[in-house]
Amino acid sequence: MKGPEIVLIVARADNGVIGRAGKLPWHLPADLRHFKSLTQNTPMIMGRKTFDSLPGLLEGRRHIVVTRDTGWDEDGAEVVHTAEDALRRANAPHVSVIGGAEIYELFLPRADRIELTEVHLDAEGDTVLDSFGKDWRETRRERHEAENGRPAYSFVTLVRTR
């Protein structure tokens, strides 16, 4: 029996940076809208730091938090301690994995698709996500030019080639 479709939702600068001090190092309203459309009505799997970085609970989505801290609990979070527990708890045909770097690396070997926002800049940050490897094929790219002081970016869909 095949498990759920696992989709990594990632925003990454050209130099691999995905975060700075627990936040995104850029502000792209179009990417936030894109994120919402991709994750709406799906369970979101994330690490505790990613949960803490959210502005609050995101409406229309379950928040499944993978943490090693067995004593951690937060209103609105469904706490689990392994990737397998997260997938069991999600119990859905599609799940969105939204970060951070350790969680992406944990789920990458079993991911089916990556929805990547390439932010076209070399960002300063303290969290980096390496490339995804050779097992991916680009099936869609939508480029957006820089405007209003915000960097250019591309929405890219990658699917596993297995």
| pLDDT tens track, the chain, 162 positions | 578 999 999 999 999 999 999 999 999 999 999 999 999 999 999 999 999 999 999 999 999 999 999 999 999 999 999 999 999 999 999 999 999 999 999 999 999 999 999 999 999 999 999 889 899 999 999 999 999 999 999 999 999 997
Contact present, 59 and 36 (Cβ < 8 Å) = no
pTM: 0.95
pLDDT attached to residue 21: 93
* Structural domain containing residue 34: 5-160
Q: Count of domains in the chain?
A: 1
For strands 113-119 and 136-144, give the pairing: unpaired
For residue 68, the domain's CATH number is 3.40.430.10
